[in-house]
């Protein structure tokens, strides 16, 4: 009886009740944790209500109306319905976020962008929406409360990010391979702290993988020495599409936005306070005044340019840092799992992530100059490839020719006057108001764009006395971006059933346009085939279709071929050569929409090819003779093209120019190019040094290749360093090679023969600075 009395005592009952409640509560929390997806309904089967944004001409008209008052003296305010409350300079993530925030509060907002929306850093990120695992490490080991706040803010913003534009962002499991046993508890504890800090905003719980499970999930991983792996979750998004969604949301909320409009002068009143600006349309050269109560500088890496325009004695506050990324074929990684190497050969961090059907790898951290279209250096590309090779299985040949595109983005790191290296800079942002009233927002990253915009507009309301103009406080944590309201993960099925699209195309449109995909599909031309019924691809290997070009021009302010190839679609980031091949079709469709002449189409092609050169387009395609020609429309353009070709042929006959080089597509994704006669010269040179082995195949020793190539025009300057790099990359370091292997080596040498003479001074980059974007 005493035992039963003890078992069924009040204390025991309290323990059992408490334990049961804890288990049930924990189970309920676990089952309801993770990302919240939109609830599909029958209404999502149908298109949302139609909406067409105002044209660019209408936007320009509103901008010009605000500057009708040209007397910029204190005490002479212009008409209230013409003056803007805020003029935001910069159409990247930060500027577009500020426009959404200000417009959603009821302010009259104008935004101008010198180039295209997201043309700079905001389209060249690592595509991650991350909280910053390394920030947490610093917060713990350095007892740094500021680092803790950064993690907390980023994790909070990550959840909002994935909710406001669910079709453009998603959670992504990221694997940390472990090669030392002591790292298992270290990484496990760190990731669990990351989960706990996220709390109810956590995506999924991190977990440990055995060696076998890790190799099953990521078969490309190097197995030698592998102990296991740890998987944690962060977010991923399509950065430039997100940027466009922000811009179009601001427009829908009433903002006036224009691309290709540059601020050339800042206007001040008698007290030296800003009250407007001079704006130039970079497409037409026309200039006019814009009047505004306050001006916000959100120009990212170009922040100091506008600050200098305001005050010529300004000292720089932003130190740009270049981060490069490369795109590889999709067979380099699983489709649903990324990889993080937290300790590369020189202490930097590298991400290896599936994105839009391909694989992106990066990034680096190199001090850089501010330029419009920075280009990835060959040294940095090689470093990324070497790191990729170091953690992939040795039976995978990591080739320079597998790089489909390579790009460089400038990080707008806030400068610490006492820091000499970019690693001493942080990604958190800074808000500054100059004596004239120019409000500058600088630094930060994509993940926290919304919080940065909220702080900026709060400061703007206070600084420019707009309290009486706002209708509410910040509401952007609940404002869903254009394309989100009627979207569901199964919407693509409705697109297939309604328009007869290929499944891959329908999923691509759903995941990149949200419910606006219905409008895109309404612009698709019939294919004339039994299946698919609509959606002519721009290029067969990617799901981009003709309707996207029309939609970009009519609904997203695309004005050049580069706008479409780089930022409305992402073809130039996925495959520079594929973008090159799709270029004539894109220009042809845009010509129908914008009324381009044959000469303008040729100019657009030339400008686009120059841009693709910064995205890793092979040098042989950059030669003007290899540029694609516009598709002629009508007999007059056919005559014009015929005359142009005849003139080129005449110049060749009289010896004033060379015949257009033939292109030979050689091996795999590398597409090494050889000029006419070059292949024959290589074959002849190879034959002079060959010997037959036991099976009768002619081969040459790898140690003879350098000497052999000295006799071939165009290869005499190849260095031993370059040859050793290519041989090691191709797996031919020792031994003998046949003719096909010899041609592969030569093709790779052509790609790397323009290596910089000096090694770039690269810096260590931690995870929290590796987004490559704003």
Q: Please indicate whether residue 4 or residue 461 has the higher confidence score (pLDDT).
A: 461
- Where residue 340 falls among pLDDT bands split at 50, 70, 90? confident
By C-alpha distance, which of 641, 659, 640 is closest to 649? Answer: 659
Are 302 and 388 part of one and the same domain?
A: no
Q: Please indicate whether residue 1 or residue 769 has the higher confidence score (pLDDT).
A: 1
**Residues in contact with 666: Cβ distance below 8 Å, sequence separation at least 6, in sequence order:** 672, 673, 674, 743, 744, 747
- Cβ atoms of 374 and 409 closer than 8 Å: yes
Instruction: Please report whether residue 611 resides in a domain.
Output: yes
Q: How many CB atoms lie within 10 A of CB 31?
A: 8
Helices (H), 392-448: none
pLDDT of amino acid 758: 40
pLDDT of amino acid 81: 59
Average pLDDT over residues 485-500: 93
pLDDT over threshold 60, residue 765 = no
End-to-end CA distance of the chain: 71
Give the 3-state DSSP-derived string for 48-112, with helices as H, strands as E and coil as C. CCCCCCCCHHHHHHHHHHHCCCCCCCCCCCCCCCCCEEEEEECCCHHHHHHHHHHHHCCCCEEEE
pLDDT in tens, 294-338: 999 999 999 999 999 999 998 888 888 888 999 999 989 898 999
pLDDT of amino acid 770: 42
- How would you class 119 by CB atoms within 10 Å of its CB: exposed for 0-12, middle for 13-18, buried for 19 or more? buried
DSSP characters over 634-674: HHHHHHHHHHHHHHHHHHHHTTSSPPPPP----SGGG----
- Where residue 218 falls among pLDDT bands split at 50, 70, 90? very high
Q: How many CB atoms lie within 10 A of CB 339?
A: 27
Q: Angle CA(365)–CA(368)–CA(374) in degrees, nearest 5?
A: 95
Cis peptide before 220 (omega within 30 of 0): no
Q: Which long-range contacts does 720-728 make (Cβ < 8 Å, 24+ apart)?
A: 721/755, 722/749, 722/752, 722/753, 722/755, 723/749, 725/382, 725/752, 726/400, 726/752, 727/702
The Cα–Cα gap between 19 and 456 comes to: 47
CATH of residue 459's domain is 3.50.50.60
Are 212 and 348 part of one and the same domain?
A: yes
Instruction: Give the Å distances, CA to CA, from 327 to 230, 397, 402.
Output: 25, 16, 8
**Is the CA virtual torsion 610, 615, 617, 618 positive or negative?**
positive
pLDDT in tens, 30-66: 666 666 666 777 777 778 888 999 999 999 999 999 8
- Where residue 658 falls among pLDDT bands split at 50, 70, 90? low
DSSP characters over 285-299: --EEEEEEEEEEE--
pLDDT in tens, 674-701: 655 677 777 878 887 777 665 667 788 8
The Cα–Cα gap between 125 and 242 comes to: 12
Strands (E), 109-184: 109-113, 128-129, 169-178
pLDDT of amino acid 428: 75
Q: How many CB atoms lie within 10 A of CB 309?
A: 17
Are 512 and 550 part of one and the same domain?
A: yes
Average pLDDT over residues 370-398: 87
pLDDT of amino acid 466: 94
Q: How many domains does the chain have?
A: 4
- How would you class 227 by CB atoms within 10 Å of its CB: exposed for 0-12, middle for 13-18, buried for 19 or more? middle
The Cα–Cα gap between 126 and 240 comes to: 12
Q: Please indicate whether residue 133 or residue 243 has the higher confidence score (pLDDT).
A: 243
Instruction: Please report whether residue 37 resides in a domain.
Output: no
pLDDT over threshold 90, residue 422 = no
pLDDT over threshold 80, residue 11 = no
Are 195 and 274 part of one and the same domain?
A: no
Instruction: Please report whether residue 469 resides in a domain.
Output: no
The Cα–Cα gap between 352 and 341 comes to: 8
Element (H, E) at 453: helix 449-463
For residue 164, report the phi and psi dihedrals to the nearest 5 degrees.
-75, -25
User: Mean pLDDT score of the chain, rounded to an integer?
Assistant: 84
Q: List, in sequence order, every residue forming a beta bridge with 441; answer none if it has no partner.
A: 431
Are 293 and 388 part of one and the same domain?
A: no
> How many Å separate Cα 140 from the centre of its chain?
31
pLDDT over threshold 90, residue 514 = yes
Instruction: Please report whether residue 1 resides in a domain.
Output: no
Element (H, E) at 215: helix 211-217
% residues pLDDT > 70 (the chain): 82
Are 611 and 537 part of one and the same domain?
A: yes
pLDDT in tens, 350-381: 888 999 999 999 877 777 888 888 899 888 88
Are 306 and 380 part of one and the same domain?
A: no
Q: Which of 198-207, 521-530, 741-750 has the highest mean pLDDT?
A: 521-530
- Identify the three-state secondary structure at position 431: strand
pLDDT of amino acid 487: 93
User: Per mean pLDDT, which range of 2-6, 96-100, 282-286 is the poorest?
Assistant: 2-6
- Cβ atoms of 150 and 130 closer than 8 Å: no
Average pLDDT over residues 572-587: 96
Are 554 and 613 part of one and the same domain?
A: yes
For residue 169, report the phi and psi dihedrals to the nearest 5 degrees.
-135, 155
For residue 155, report the phi and psi dihedrals to the nearest 5 degrees.
-65, -40
pLDDT over threshold 70, residue 7 = no
Instruction: Please report whether residue 379 resides in a domain.
Output: yes
- Where residue 394 falls among pLDDT bands split at 50, 70, 90? confident
Are 394 and 429 part of one and the same domain?
A: no
Q: How many CB atoms lie within 10 A of CB 195?
A: 18
Average pLDDT over residues 725-732: 73
- Cβ atoms of 227 and 241 closer than 8 Å: no
Are 718 and 683 part of one and the same domain?
A: yes
Are 575 and 451 part of one and the same domain?
A: no
The strand pair at 256-259 and 109-113 is best described as: parallel
Are 287 and 361 part of one and the same domain?
A: no
pLDDT of amino acid 195: 85
Element (H, E) at 704: none
pLDDT over threshold 50, residue 257 = yes
Q: Please indicate whether residue 297 or residue 29 has the higher confidence score (pLDDT).
A: 297
- Identify the three-state secondary structure at position 307: helix
pLDDT of amino acid 657: 55
- Cβ atoms of 55 and 65 closer than 8 Å: no
pLDDT over threshold 50, residue 654 = yes
For residue 234, report the phi and psi dihedrals to the nearest 5 degrees.
-140, -175
Instruction: Please report whether residue 85 resides in a domain.
Output: yes
pLDDT in tens, 608-638: 999 999 999 988 788 887 888 888 877 777 7
pLDDT of amino acid 745: 81
**Residues in contact with 277: Cβ distance below 8 Å, sequence separation at least 6, in sequence order:** 87, 89, 263, 264, 265, 266, 267, 289, 290, 292, 295
- Cβ atoms of 41 and 210 closer than 8 Å: no
Instruction: Please report whether residue 150 resides in a domain.
Output: no
- Where residue 199 falls among pLDDT bands split at 50, 70, 90? confident
Instruction: Give the Å distances, CA to CA, from 648 to 623, 661, 768.
Output: 15, 13, 53
Angle between helices 598-613 and 576-594 (to 10 degrees): 150
- Domain of 279 in residue numbering reads as 56-69+80-123+241-317+424-463
Q: Max Cα separation, the chain? A: 117
Helices (H), 264-406: 303-310, 378-391
- Identify the three-state secondary structure at position 472: coil
pLDDT of amino acid 626: 83
- Where residue 433 falls among pLDDT bands split at 50, 70, 90? very high
- Cβ atoms of 421 and 761 closer than 8 Å: no
pLDDT over threshold 60, residue 761 = no
User: Per mean pLDDT, which range of 214-218, 227-231, 242-246, 394-398 is the poorest?
Assistant: 394-398
CATH of residue 374's domain is 3.30.9.10
For residue 526, report the phi and psi dihedrals to the nearest 5 degrees.
-60, 145
Q: Angle CA(247)–CA(245)–CA(152) in degrees, nearest 5?
A: 100
The Cα–Cα gap between 64 and 84 comes to: 11
Instruction: Please report whether residue 264 resides in a domain.
Output: yes
The Cα–Cα gap between 263 and 112 comes to: 8
């Amino acid at each position: 009886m005493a035992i039963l009395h003890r078992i069924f005592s009040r204390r025991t009952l309290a323990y059992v009740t408490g334990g049961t409640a804890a288990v049930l509560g924990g189970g309920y929390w676990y089952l309801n944790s993770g990302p919240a997806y939109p609830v599909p309904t029958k209404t999502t089967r149908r298109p949302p209500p139609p909406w067409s944004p105002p044209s660019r001409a209408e936007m320009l008209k509103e901008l010009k109306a605000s500057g009708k008052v040209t007397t910029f003296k204190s005490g002479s305010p212009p008409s209230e319905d013409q003056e803007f409350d805020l003029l935001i300079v910069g159409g990247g993530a930060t500027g577009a976020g500020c426009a959404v925030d200000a417009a959603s509060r009821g302010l009259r907002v104008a935004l101008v962008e010198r180039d295209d929306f997201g043309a700079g850093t905001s389209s060249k990120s690592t595509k991650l929406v991350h909280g910053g695992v390394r920030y947490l490490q610093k917060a713990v080991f350095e007892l740094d409360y500021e680092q803790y706040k950064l993690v907390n803010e980023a994790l909070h913003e990550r959840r909002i990010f994935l909710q406001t534009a669910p079709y453009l962002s998603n959670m992504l499991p990221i694997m940390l391979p472990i090669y030392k046993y002591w790292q298992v508890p270290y990484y496990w504890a760190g990731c669990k702290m990351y989960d706990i800090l996220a709390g109810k905003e956590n995506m999924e719980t991190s977990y440990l993988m055995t060696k076998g499970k890790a190799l099953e999930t990521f078969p490309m991983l190097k197995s030698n020495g592998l102990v296991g792996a740890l998987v944690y979750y962060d977010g991923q998004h399509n950065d430039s599409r997100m940027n466009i969604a922000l811009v179009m949301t601001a427009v829908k909320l009433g903002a006036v936005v224009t691309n290709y409009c540059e601020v050339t002068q800042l206007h001040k009143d008698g007290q030296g306070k800003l009250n407007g600006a001079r704006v130039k349309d970079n497409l037409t050269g026309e200039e006019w005044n814009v009047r505004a109560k306050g001006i916000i500088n959100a120009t990212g890496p170009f922040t100091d340019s506008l600050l200098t325009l305001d005050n010529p004695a300004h000292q720089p506050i932003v130190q740009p840092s270049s981060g490069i990324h490369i795109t590889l074929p999709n067979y380099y990684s699983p489709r649903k799992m990324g990889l993080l190497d937290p300790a590369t050969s020189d202490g930097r961090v590298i991400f290896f992530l599936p994105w839009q059907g391909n694989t992106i790898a990066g990034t680096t951290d190199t001090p850089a100059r501010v330029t419009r279209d920075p280009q990835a250096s060959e040294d940095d590309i090689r470093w990324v490839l070497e790191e990729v090779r170091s953690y992939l299985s040795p039976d995978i040949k990591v080739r320079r020719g597998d790089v489909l595109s390579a790009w460089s983005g400038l990080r707008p790191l806030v400068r610490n006057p006492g820091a000499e290296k970019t690693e001493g800079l942080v990604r958190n942002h800074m808000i500054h108001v100059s004596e004239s009233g120019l409000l500058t927002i600088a630094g930060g990253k994509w993940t926290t764009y919304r919080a940065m915009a909220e702080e900026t507009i709060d400061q703007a309301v206070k600084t420019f006395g707009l309290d009486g103009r706002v209708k509410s406080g910040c509401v952007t944590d609940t404002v869903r971006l254009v394309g989100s309201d009627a979207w569901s993960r199964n919407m693509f099925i409705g697109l297939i059933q309604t328009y007869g699209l290929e499944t891959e195309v329908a999923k691509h449109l759903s995941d990149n346009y949200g419910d606006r995909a219905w409008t895109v599909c309404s612009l698709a031309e019939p294919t004339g085939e039994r299946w698919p019924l609509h959606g002519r691809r721009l290029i067969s290997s990617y799901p981009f279709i003709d309707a996207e070009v029309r939609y970009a021009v009519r609904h997203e302010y695309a004005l050049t071929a580069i706008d479409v190839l780089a930022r409305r679609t992402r073809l130039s980031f996925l495959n520079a050569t594929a973008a090159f091949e799709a270029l004539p079709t894109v220009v042809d469709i845009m010509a129908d929409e914008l009324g381009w002449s044959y000469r303008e189409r040729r100019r657009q092609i030339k400008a686009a090819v120059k841009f693709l050169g910064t995205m890793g387009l092979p040098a042989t395609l950059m030669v003007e003779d290899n540029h694609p020609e516009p598709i002629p429309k009508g007999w007059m353009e056919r005559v014009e093209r015929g005359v142009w070709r005849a003139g080129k042929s005449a110049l060749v006959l009289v010896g004033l120019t060379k015949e257009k080089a033939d292109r030979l597509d050689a091996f795999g994704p590398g597409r090494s190019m050889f000029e006419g006669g070059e292949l024959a010269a290589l074959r002849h040179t190879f034959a002079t040094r060959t010997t037959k082995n036991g099976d009768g195949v002619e081969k040459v020793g790898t140690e003879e290749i350098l000497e052999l190539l000295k006799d071939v025009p165009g290869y005499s300057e190849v260095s031993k360093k370059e040859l050793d790099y290519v041989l090691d990359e191709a797996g031919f370091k020792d031994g003998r090679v046949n003719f096909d292997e010899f041609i592969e080596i030569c093709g790779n040498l052509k790609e790397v023969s323009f290596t910089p003479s000096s090694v770039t001074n690269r810096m260590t980059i931690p995870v929290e600075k590796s987004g490559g974007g704003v």
